[in-house]
Amino acid sequence: MKRFEELLNSYIDRLPESRVREAMRYSLMAGGKRIRPLLLYTVLKGYGIDETKGDAYASALEMIHTYSLIHDDLPAMDNDDLRRGRPTCHKQFDEATAILAGDGLLTYAFEIASEDTENASAALACTHILALMAGAGGMVLGQDLDMSEVSGTTDFEAVRKVHRYKTGCLLSAPLMMASVIAGHSEDTEKWHQLGEKLGLAFQIQDDVMDVKLTPEQFGKSTSDANNDKVTSVGLLGMDEAENMMNRLYKECMSESDTFSGFDSRALKELIESIRTRTK
Ligand code: GRG
Protein backbone atom coordinates (compact mmCIF):
# COMPACT_ATOMS: atom_id res chain seq x y z
CA MET A 1 0.00 0.00 0.00
CA LYS A 2 3.04 2.32 -0.26
CA ARG A 3 1.59 3.56 -3.55
CA PHE A 4 -1.67 4.45 -1.82
CA GLU A 5 0.09 6.27 1.04
CA GLU A 6 1.96 8.37 -1.53
CA LEU A 7 -1.24 9.02 -3.44
CA LEU A 8 -3.02 10.32 -0.31
CA ASN A 9 -0.07 12.54 0.57
CA SER A 10 0.03 13.94 -2.97
CA TYR A 11 -3.66 14.87 -2.76
CA ILE A 12 -2.90 16.85 0.42
CA ASP A 13 0.10 18.49 -1.29
CA ARG A 14 -2.28 19.87 -3.93
CA LEU A 15 -3.98 22.08 -1.31
CA PRO A 16 -2.67 25.56 -0.42
CA GLU A 17 -0.28 25.58 2.53
CA SER A 18 -2.15 26.17 5.79
CA ARG A 19 -2.57 24.96 9.35
CA VAL A 20 -5.75 23.11 8.43
CA ARG A 21 -3.93 21.35 5.58
CA GLU A 22 -1.31 20.06 8.03
CA ALA A 23 -4.02 18.93 10.48
CA MET A 24 -5.71 17.03 7.60
CA ARG A 25 -2.38 15.43 6.72
CA TYR A 26 -1.63 14.62 10.37
CA SER A 27 -4.78 12.54 10.74
CA LEU A 28 -4.92 11.11 7.23
CA MET A 29 -1.33 9.86 7.30
CA ALA A 30 -1.43 8.48 10.86
CA GLY A 31 -1.20 4.78 10.00
CA GLY A 32 -4.81 3.70 9.57
CA LYS A 33 -5.37 0.18 8.31
CA ARG A 34 -6.89 1.48 5.02
CA ILE A 35 -9.60 -1.18 5.16
CA ARG A 36 -12.11 0.75 3.05
CA PRO A 37 -9.63 1.44 0.21
CA LEU A 38 -8.45 -2.19 0.41
CA LEU A 39 -12.04 -3.38 0.04
CA LEU A 40 -12.51 -1.21 -3.03
CA TYR A 41 -9.24 -2.33 -4.66
CA THR A 42 -9.91 -5.99 -3.86
CA VAL A 43 -13.41 -6.02 -5.33
CA LEU A 44 -12.07 -4.29 -8.46
CA LYS A 45 -9.44 -7.04 -8.69
CA GLY A 46 -12.14 -9.70 -8.33
CA TYR A 47 -13.92 -8.18 -11.32
CA GLY A 48 -10.62 -8.11 -13.27
CA ILE A 49 -10.32 -4.30 -13.26
CA ASP A 50 -7.00 -2.44 -12.87
CA GLU A 51 -6.86 -1.05 -9.31
CA THR A 52 -5.71 2.42 -10.39
CA LYS A 53 -9.24 2.98 -11.77
CA GLY A 54 -10.31 3.11 -8.13
CA ASP A 55 -7.62 5.49 -6.85
CA ALA A 56 -9.74 8.63 -6.56
CA TYR A 57 -12.61 6.76 -4.88
CA ALA A 58 -10.32 4.88 -2.47
CA SER A 59 -8.75 8.22 -1.47
CA ALA A 60 -12.15 9.86 -1.05
CA LEU A 61 -13.31 7.01 1.19
CA GLU A 62 -10.27 7.22 3.43
CA MET A 63 -10.74 10.99 3.72
CA ILE A 64 -14.35 10.59 4.80
CA HIS A 65 -13.39 7.85 7.25
CA THR A 66 -10.63 10.05 8.71
CA TYR A 67 -12.94 13.06 9.03
CA SER A 68 -15.43 10.89 10.94
CA LEU A 69 -12.72 9.78 13.38
CA ILE A 70 -11.49 13.36 13.92
CA HIS A 71 -15.00 14.58 14.71
CA ASP A 72 -15.84 11.47 16.77
CA ASP A 73 -12.80 12.15 18.99
CA LEU A 74 -13.84 15.76 19.77
CA PRO A 75 -14.84 16.71 23.33
CA ALA A 76 -18.46 17.19 22.17
CA MET A 77 -18.58 13.56 21.03
CA ASP A 78 -16.33 10.80 22.44
CA ASN A 79 -13.68 13.09 23.92
CA ASP A 80 -10.72 10.85 23.16
CA ASP A 81 -7.05 11.77 23.56
CA LEU A 82 -5.50 8.94 21.59
CA ARG A 83 -6.16 7.66 18.06
CA ARG A 84 -4.00 5.37 15.95
CA GLY A 85 -1.45 5.45 18.76
CA ARG A 86 -1.01 9.25 18.59
CA PRO A 87 -2.68 12.31 20.13
CA THR A 88 -6.06 12.95 18.49
CA CYS A 89 -6.26 15.85 16.03
CA HIS A 90 -7.73 18.32 18.56
CA LYS A 91 -5.03 17.39 21.09
CA GLN A 92 -2.22 17.84 18.57
CA PHE A 93 -3.69 21.07 17.15
CA ASP A 94 -6.79 22.59 18.78
CA GLU A 95 -10.54 22.02 18.63
CA ALA A 96 -11.29 24.62 15.98
CA THR A 97 -8.54 23.31 13.71
CA ALA A 98 -9.74 19.72 14.21
CA ILE A 99 -13.30 20.69 13.23
CA LEU A 100 -11.95 22.41 10.12
CA ALA A 101 -9.67 19.48 9.28
CA GLY A 102 -12.72 17.18 9.36
CA ASP A 103 -14.73 19.61 7.23
CA GLY A 104 -11.81 19.94 4.83
CA LEU A 105 -11.42 16.17 4.40
CA LEU A 106 -15.15 15.64 3.92
CA THR A 107 -15.40 18.33 1.26
CA TYR A 108 -12.18 17.34 -0.49
CA ALA A 109 -13.45 13.75 -0.75
CA PHE A 110 -16.32 14.92 -2.96
CA GLU A 111 -14.02 17.09 -5.07
CA ILE A 112 -11.78 14.09 -5.74
CA ALA A 113 -14.57 11.56 -6.31
CA SER A 114 -16.30 13.77 -8.83
CA GLU A 115 -13.30 14.61 -11.01
CA ASP A 116 -12.97 11.33 -12.96
CA THR A 117 -13.59 12.76 -16.42
CA GLU A 118 -12.56 9.51 -18.16
CA ASN A 119 -15.62 7.77 -16.76
CA ALA A 120 -18.02 10.56 -15.85
CA SER A 121 -21.04 8.30 -15.37
CA ALA A 122 -19.13 6.12 -12.85
CA ALA A 123 -17.93 9.31 -11.11
CA LEU A 124 -21.50 10.55 -10.76
CA ALA A 125 -22.80 7.20 -9.48
CA CYS A 126 -19.89 6.75 -7.05
CA THR A 127 -20.19 10.29 -5.71
CA HIS A 128 -23.87 9.63 -5.11
CA ILE A 129 -23.10 6.38 -3.25
CA LEU A 130 -20.51 8.21 -1.15
CA ALA A 131 -23.03 10.87 -0.17
CA LEU A 132 -25.75 8.32 0.62
CA MET A 133 -23.49 6.14 2.73
CA ALA A 134 -21.70 8.96 4.59
CA GLY A 135 -24.58 11.35 5.20
CA ALA A 136 -27.61 11.77 7.43
CA GLY A 137 -29.17 8.58 6.06
CA GLY A 138 -25.91 6.68 6.58
CA MET A 139 -22.89 7.10 8.85
CA VAL A 140 -24.00 10.46 10.29
CA LEU A 141 -27.36 8.89 11.21
CA GLY A 142 -25.49 6.03 12.91
CA GLN A 143 -23.47 8.47 14.97
CA ASP A 144 -26.64 10.35 15.95
CA LEU A 145 -28.40 7.12 16.99
CA ASP A 146 -25.32 6.07 18.94
CA MET A 147 -25.23 9.33 20.88
CA SER A 148 -28.95 9.47 21.60
CA GLU A 149 -31.25 6.50 21.14
CA VAL A 150 -29.24 3.53 22.30
CA SER A 151 -27.87 4.86 25.55
CA GLY A 152 -28.94 2.45 28.27
CA THR A 153 -30.67 0.02 25.89
CA THR A 154 -30.64 -3.72 26.47
CA ASP A 155 -32.00 -4.44 23.02
CA PHE A 156 -29.36 -5.87 20.70
CA GLU A 157 -31.50 -4.95 17.66
CA ALA A 158 -31.10 -1.26 18.57
CA VAL A 159 -27.35 -1.72 18.74
CA ARG A 160 -27.38 -3.64 15.45
CA LYS A 161 -29.13 -0.66 13.85
CA VAL A 162 -26.44 1.74 15.06
CA HIS A 163 -23.70 -0.52 13.70
CA ARG A 164 -25.54 -0.86 10.39
CA TYR A 165 -25.40 2.88 9.82
CA LYS A 166 -22.33 3.99 11.75
CA THR A 167 -19.94 1.27 10.62
CA GLY A 168 -21.72 -0.72 7.89
CA CYS A 169 -22.46 2.12 5.50
CA LEU A 170 -18.84 3.14 5.05
CA LEU A 171 -17.82 -0.49 4.56
CA SER A 172 -20.62 -1.02 2.02
CA ALA A 173 -19.58 2.06 0.03
CA PRO A 174 -16.28 0.65 -1.36
CA LEU A 175 -17.96 -2.61 -2.38
CA MET A 176 -20.81 -0.77 -4.09
CA MET A 177 -18.49 1.72 -5.80
CA ALA A 178 -16.22 -1.04 -7.08
CA SER A 179 -19.18 -2.80 -8.68
CA VAL A 180 -20.15 0.46 -10.42
CA ILE A 181 -16.59 1.13 -11.68
CA ALA A 182 -16.43 -2.46 -12.94
CA GLY A 183 -19.67 -1.98 -14.89
CA HIS A 184 -21.64 -4.39 -12.67
CA SER A 185 -24.23 -2.02 -11.24
CA GLU A 186 -26.69 -4.92 -11.11
CA ASP A 187 -24.66 -6.20 -8.11
CA THR A 188 -24.56 -2.92 -6.17
CA GLU A 189 -27.49 -3.62 -3.83
CA LYS A 190 -26.18 -7.08 -3.00
CA TRP A 191 -22.79 -5.59 -2.13
CA HIS A 192 -24.61 -3.06 0.05
CA GLN A 193 -26.11 -5.92 2.08
CA LEU A 194 -22.80 -7.75 2.30
CA GLY A 195 -21.09 -4.56 3.52
CA GLU A 196 -23.65 -4.15 6.29
CA LYS A 197 -22.94 -7.67 7.49
CA LEU A 198 -19.22 -7.02 7.32
CA GLY A 199 -19.77 -3.80 9.27
CA LEU A 200 -21.62 -5.61 12.03
CA ALA A 201 -18.86 -8.22 12.30
CA PHE A 202 -16.21 -5.47 12.25
CA GLN A 203 -17.93 -3.45 14.96
CA ILE A 204 -18.49 -6.47 17.22
CA GLN A 205 -14.78 -7.20 16.80
CA ASP A 206 -13.99 -3.56 17.69
CA ASP A 207 -16.06 -3.98 20.87
CA VAL A 208 -14.25 -7.24 21.69
CA MET A 209 -10.86 -5.58 21.19
CA ASP A 210 -12.00 -2.56 23.21
CA VAL A 211 -12.33 -4.92 26.19
CA LYS A 212 -9.41 -7.26 25.53
CA LEU A 213 -6.64 -4.87 24.51
CA THR A 214 -4.83 -2.11 26.36
CA PRO A 215 -4.98 1.40 24.83
CA GLU A 216 -1.33 0.95 23.74
CA GLN A 217 -2.12 -2.30 21.91
CA PHE A 218 -5.32 -0.93 20.38
CA GLY A 219 -3.83 2.46 19.51
CA LYS A 220 -6.78 4.39 20.94
CA SER A 221 -8.34 5.15 24.30
CA THR A 222 -10.52 2.23 25.39
CA SER A 223 -13.30 4.68 25.98
CA ASP A 224 -16.41 2.70 25.05
CA ALA A 225 -16.34 0.16 27.85
CA ASN A 226 -15.04 2.77 30.31
CA ASN A 227 -17.71 5.32 29.32
CA ASP A 228 -20.45 2.76 30.06
CA LYS A 229 -21.39 2.88 26.38
CA VAL A 230 -23.68 0.11 25.19
CA THR A 231 -21.54 -2.40 23.28
CA SER A 232 -22.11 -5.83 21.74
CA VAL A 233 -19.90 -7.41 24.40
CA GLY A 234 -21.83 -5.67 27.18
CA LEU A 235 -25.15 -6.93 25.80
CA LEU A 236 -24.23 -10.39 24.53
CA GLY A 237 -21.26 -11.34 26.69
CA MET A 238 -17.79 -12.04 25.30
CA ASP A 239 -18.38 -15.62 24.09
CA GLU A 240 -21.62 -14.88 22.27
CA ALA A 241 -20.16 -11.70 20.75
CA GLU A 242 -17.15 -13.61 19.43
CA ASN A 243 -19.35 -16.42 18.08
CA MET A 244 -21.59 -13.93 16.30
CA MET A 245 -18.59 -12.10 14.86
CA ASN A 246 -17.06 -15.30 13.47
CA ARG A 247 -20.41 -16.43 12.06
CA LEU A 248 -20.95 -13.11 10.29
CA TYR A 249 -17.45 -13.08 8.79
CA LYS A 250 -18.03 -16.65 7.50
CA GLU A 251 -21.33 -15.61 5.92
CA CYS A 252 -19.59 -12.66 4.22
CA MET A 253 -17.04 -15.03 2.73
CA SER A 254 -19.63 -17.45 1.37
CA GLU A 255 -21.81 -14.61 0.04
CA SER A 256 -18.83 -13.22 -1.88
CA ASP A 257 -18.97 -16.44 -3.96
CA THR A 258 -22.41 -15.56 -5.30
CA PHE A 259 -21.53 -12.74 -7.75
CA SER A 260 -21.28 -13.75 -11.38
CA GLY A 261 -18.09 -12.73 -13.20
CA PHE A 262 -16.39 -12.15 -9.85
CA ASP A 263 -13.35 -14.06 -8.54
CA SER A 264 -13.81 -13.99 -4.77
CA ARG A 265 -10.44 -15.42 -3.68
CA ALA A 266 -8.66 -12.13 -2.88
CA LEU A 267 -11.73 -10.73 -1.10
CA LYS A 268 -12.01 -13.82 1.09
CA GLU A 269 -8.33 -13.48 2.01
CA LEU A 270 -8.89 -9.83 2.91
CA ILE A 271 -11.93 -10.68 5.05
CA GLU A 272 -9.89 -13.35 6.84
CA SER A 273 -7.10 -10.85 7.50
CA ILE A 274 -9.68 -8.42 8.94
CA ARG A 275 -11.14 -11.23 11.12
CA THR A 276 -7.70 -12.00 12.53
CA ARG A 277 -6.50 -8.38 12.88
CA THR A 278 -4.79 -7.34 16.07
CA LYS A 279 -5.49 -3.58 15.95
C1 GRG B 1 -18.57 12.02 13.45
C2 GRG B 1 -20.21 11.77 11.58
C3 GRG B 1 -19.33 11.16 12.54
C4 GRG B 1 -19.24 9.83 12.58
C5 GRG B 1 -18.36 9.10 13.43
C6 GRG B 1 -16.47 6.43 12.58
C7 GRG B 1 -17.36 6.93 13.65
C8 GRG B 1 -18.60 7.65 13.25
C9 GRG B 1 -17.03 6.82 14.94
C10 GRG B 1 -15.72 6.23 15.37
C11 GRG B 1 -15.92 5.22 16.43
C12 GRG B 1 -16.23 3.87 15.90
C13 GRG B 1 -15.97 2.74 16.81
C14 GRG B 1 -16.73 3.72 14.72
C15 GRG B 1 -17.09 2.47 14.12
C16 GRG B 1 -16.27 2.22 12.94
C17 GRG B 1 -14.89 1.86 13.33
C18 GRG B 1 -14.63 0.58 14.01
C19 GRG B 1 -13.95 2.72 13.03
C20 GRG B 1 -12.53 2.43 13.15
O21 GRG B 1 -12.16 2.02 11.85
P22 GRG B 1 -10.77 1.36 11.54
O23 GRG B 1 -10.50 0.24 12.50
O24 GRG B 1 -9.77 2.55 11.86
O25 GRG B 1 -10.74 1.03 10.09
P26 GRG B 1 -8.31 2.86 11.28
O27 GRG B 1 -7.65 3.68 12.36
O28 GRG B 1 -7.59 1.58 11.00
O29 GRG B 1 -8.52 3.64 10.04
Provide the angle, in degrees to the nearest 10, between the axes of the packed helices 19-28 and 2-13.
170
Q: Hey, whose CA ends up nearest to atom 29 of ligand 1?
A: 32
Write out 17-56 in H/E/C secondary structure. CCHHHHHHHHHHCCCCCCHHHHHHHHHHHHCCCCHHHHHH
Across the chain, which has 279 residues, the per-10-residue mean pLDDT values are 96 98 98 97 98 97 98 96 95 98 98 92 97 98 88 82 95 98 97 97 93 74 61 90 96 97 98 93
Is 53's C-beta closer than 6 angstroms to any atom of ligand 1?
no
Calpha distance 116→22 (Å, rounded): 26
Question: What pLDDT score does 262 carry?
Answer: 98
Mapped onto helix, strand or coil, the DSSP state of residue 135 is: coil
Calpha distance 168→195 (Å, rounded): 6
Q: Hey, whose CA ends up nearest to atom 24 of ligand 1?
A: 32
From 64, 167, 275, the mutation candidate for ligand 1 (largest count of ligand atoms within 8 A of CB) is 167
